[in-house]
Structure 1
Amino acid sequence: MAVDFSQELKDLRATMDSVRGVTDLDALTARIADLEKQAAAPDLWDDPDHAQQVTSSLSRANSERERVMGMDRRVEDLEVLVEMGEEEHDQATMEEAERELQKLKKDIGELEVRTLLSGEYDEREAVVTIRSGAGGVDAADFAEMLLRMYLRWAERHGYPTKVMDTSYAEEAGLKSATFEVNVPYAYGHLAVEGGTHRLVRISPFDNQGRRQTSFAAVEVIPLIESDDSIDIPENEIKVDVFRSSGPGGQSVNTTDSAVRMTHLPTGIVVSMQNEKSQIQNRAAALRVLQSRLLLLRKAEEAAAKKELAGDVKASWGDQMRSYVLNPYQMVKDLRTNHETGNPSAVFDGDIDDFIEAGIRWTVEQRKKDTAAASA
């Protein structure tokens, strides 16, 4: 079936108009000019934390503007390519234009999703914690499968990650794991992955080959920044130190460098063992604890507002996604109804479609909540 380039290009231009409207290039350019002025100040590095904040913000703003402008140029280049191919009746040129069209549709779709990330912390880097739930050794194995899935997703995109803590189960898999995704908007993308994940399969650990259902919980929080006002009094923190351990309980560190930090008022526990020293692990644990407390505070504020409005709703529920390997092959998100019949690809990090559907679903939910609150 021949491609209707006229309609396809019209759709791409309409999407880019929407992206530019949300991005507000004029305001972004003005912000870049202001940040460049700050970055050029001779006393910038007198305050290293502020300097880092300015230079990082400038880099992100420049990247954002170039991403939009670069996509505009690609649409224009495709228009020229199609015009040349049609005028010269060149089949090879038209085939090249069709390949570029498919790439552009995918890239502009991703850019459009980025513009939907307007939450307070969406621009932040992310801290992800995976914990095995009900299901015994199968659940621990599932937790390890999910860790690999997210790390492979990040690797596919070239996003730097850092595994901060791993607690191995006795027989196989993980009790829990915590890692960072150190790229802007990591939290905005991965926040939709938070919740309970369910796996149904023939258990490789059951000598009778029975089908097993197991669960794992995924928690996603935004990484704390230096200007966030979360101060934790020393008397509210209990710190334990211990030796890092590997699979099967074997020791991988001969010193007590691992740190377990407990926030006494809330009972939140954070463990870190992957840094080289106790001081580094303590700093990393404190940063994650601050991030969790920040999110907890915002959640409590949001809950209070809903209660005042007389509109207290449940969250997504106990299960947000099912991974079924037997008696059929399917991964299905129970909120968005997005599904695929290729679990192997999903576990290898191919989850962009699930993330995009989750982001669009979240935006729609916010619109409905806003409309209900104003009604």
Structure 2
Amino acid sequence: MAIDFPAELQALSSTFGQIEAVLDPAGLERKIAELEVEASAPGLWDDQDNAQAVTSALSIAKADVDRIQAFASRIDDLGVLIEMGVEGHDADTLAEAEADLAVLKKDLASMEVRTLMTGEWDERDAVVTVRSGAGGVDAADFTAMLMRMYLRWAERHGYAAKVLDTSYAEEAGIKSATFEVSAPYAFGHLSVEAGTHRLVRISPFDNQGRRQTSFAAVEVIPLIGQTDHIDVPETDIKIDVFRSSGPGGQSVNTTDSAVRITHLPSGIVVSMQDEKSQIQNRAAAMRVLQSRLLLLKKAEEAAQKKELAGDIKASWGDQMRSYVLHPYQMVKDLRTEHETSQTDKVFDGDIDDFIDAGIRWRRALENE
């Protein structure tokens, strides 16, 4: 069936116009001008936290404008290509236009998802923690697979990712790991990955080759900024120092540089061992602790508001995604119903479709 290029191009332009109205390029240009004034101030770097916030916001705004302009140009180019193909009755040119149209549609869908991330912390960097659950050594191995999946996702997008802490399991895999992903809207994207993940496969650790079901939990929190710092009294925390360890409990550091901070009122525990010095690890641990406490505070406030309003709607179910490797190959999100049989690609970080579907699902819930 022949493609109705004029209609497709019109629909594409219309959707882009709606997205452009939300992103507001004129407003972004004004924001860039203001931020450039701040960035050029002589004493900007006297306050490094503020300087980083200003330069980061400037970088994000410029990238948004560049993305909008580039997409508008691609639509114009597609229009020219279609016109050339139709007027010249050139099948090869029309085939190229069809391929370009498919790519533009996919990219436009991703850009549209960006307009759905309007949460208070969606623009922030993300701190992700993966923990093994039920399933013994298979769960620890599954946890390591998930950690690699998210790190590969970040690598695919050119996002900076830094492992902050890893607790290795005795036989294989990891008990837990925490890493930071630094990118515009990292939290907005990864927050929909929070929950319980389930793996079904023939266990490589079972000499009888039996099928094993194992679980891992994913926690995602936004990295706090300078303006939402939470004061943590010294009397509320317990600090332990120890030597960093590798797989199987092997010591990888000859000094007690690793730090574990326990927040006594809440019971939250944060460990850091990636940095070279105890001081650096303590600073990194405090930053993550403050992020978790901020999220806890906001969650308590939200729960109180729901209680006062009589809102009894259930929250997300714990088990949000299944990864089945036997007797068939399938990864399925239980909230959005999005699924794929390309399990190897998923574990290699190709999870954008799952994330996009999760963001759309979350917005639909918010609009109910």
Greater displacement, 268-277 / 43-52: 43-52
CA RMSD of aligned residues (A): 1.3
Pairs within 5 Å for 1:52-131: 52-131=52-131
- 2:352 aligned with 1:345, yes or no? no
* Corresponding position of 2:307: 307
1-structure distance, mates of 2:51, 2:249: 43
1-structure distance, mates of 2:153, 2:52: 28
Greater displacement, 304-313 / 47-56: 47-56
* Corresponding position of 1:373: none
1-structure distance, mates of 2:84, 2:47: 55
1-structure distance, mates of 2:46, 2:254: 40
* Corresponding position of 1:26: 26
C-alpha offsets along residues 215-267 of structure 1, whole Å, 9 cap, x if unaligned? 00000000111221311111111111111111111111111111111111100
* Corresponding position of 2:261: 261
* Corresponding position of 1:14: 14
* Corresponding position of 2:197: 197
Q: Which amino acid aligns with 1:162?
A: K
Q: Which amino acid aligns with 1:76?
A: D
- 2:331 aligned with 1:331, yes or no? yes
2-structure distance, mates of 1:47, 1:159: 25
Instruction: Check whether the contact 1:332–1:339 (CA below 8 A) recurs between aligned residues.
Output: yes
Instruction: Check whether the contact 1:270–1:288 (CA below 8 A) recurs between aligned residues.
Output: yes
CA displacement at 1:80 relative to structure 2: 0.9
1-structure distance, mates of 2:42, 2:247: 51
For residues 126 and 9 of structure 1, do their structure 2 counterparts lie closer, same or farther at Cα, with a shift above 3 Å needed?
Answer: same
Instruction: Check whether the contact 1:82–1:93 (CA below 8 A) recurs between aligned residues.
Output: yes
CA displacement at 1:92 relative to structure 2: 2.6
2-structure distance, mates of 1:287, 1:367: 33
* Corresponding position of 1:372: none
For residues 204 and 45 of structure 1, do their structure 2 counterparts lie closer, same or farther at Cα, with a shift above 3 Å needed?
Answer: closer
CA displacement at 1:2 relative to structure 2: 2.9
* Corresponding position of 1:279: 279
2-structure distance, mates of 1:100, 1:281: 48
2-structure distance, mates of 1:275, 1:307: 42
Instruction: Check whether the contact 2:78–2:100 (CA below 8 A) recurs between aligned residues.
Output: yes
CA displacement at 1:11 relative to structure 2: 1.9
Q: Which amino acid aligns with 2:310?
A: G
Q: Which amino acid aligns with 1:232?
A: V
For residues 272 and 335 of structure 1, do their structure 2 counterparts lie closer, same or farther at Cα, with a shift above 3 Å needed?
Answer: same
- Percent sequence identity over aligned pairs: 71
Instruction: Check whether the contact 2:133–2:139 (CA below 8 A) recurs between aligned residues.
Output: yes
2-structure distance, mates of 1:44, 1:254: 39
* Corresponding position of 1:147: 147
CA displacement at 1:201 relative to structure 2: 1.0
CA displacement at 1:338 relative to structure 2: 0.8
CA displacement at 1:47 relative to structure 2: 3.1
Query: Would you say how many aligned residue pairs link Structure 1 and Structure 2?
Result: 368
Instruction: Check whether the contact 1:303–1:312 (CA below 8 A) recurs between aligned residues.
Output: no
Q: Helix, strand or coil: the match of 2:56?
A: helix
1-structure distance, mates of 2:64, 2:53: 16
Q: Which amino acid aligns with 1:233?
A: P
* Corresponding position of 2:240: 240
2-structure distance, mates of 1:89, 1:303: 63
CA displacement at 1:330 relative to structure 2: 1.0
Q: Which amino acid aligns with 1:83?
A: E
2-structure distance, mates of 1:176, 1:10: 49
* Corresponding position of 1:165: 165
Instruction: Check whether the contact 2:125–2:184 (CA below 8 A) recurs between aligned residues.
Output: yes
Normalised TM-score (structure 2): 0.97
Instruction: Check whether the contact 2:20–2:68 (CA below 8 A) recurs between aligned residues.
Output: yes
Greater displacement, 186-195 / 318-327: 318-327
CA displacement at 1:336 relative to structure 2: 0.6
Q: Which amino acid aligns with 2:167?
A: S
Greater displacement, 353-362 / 12-21: 12-21
* Corresponding position of 2:296: 296
Greater displacement, 223-232 / 240-249: 223-232
Structure 2: which 5+ runs fail to align?
Answer: none
* Corresponding position of 1:37: 37
CA displacement at 1:90 relative to structure 2: 2.2
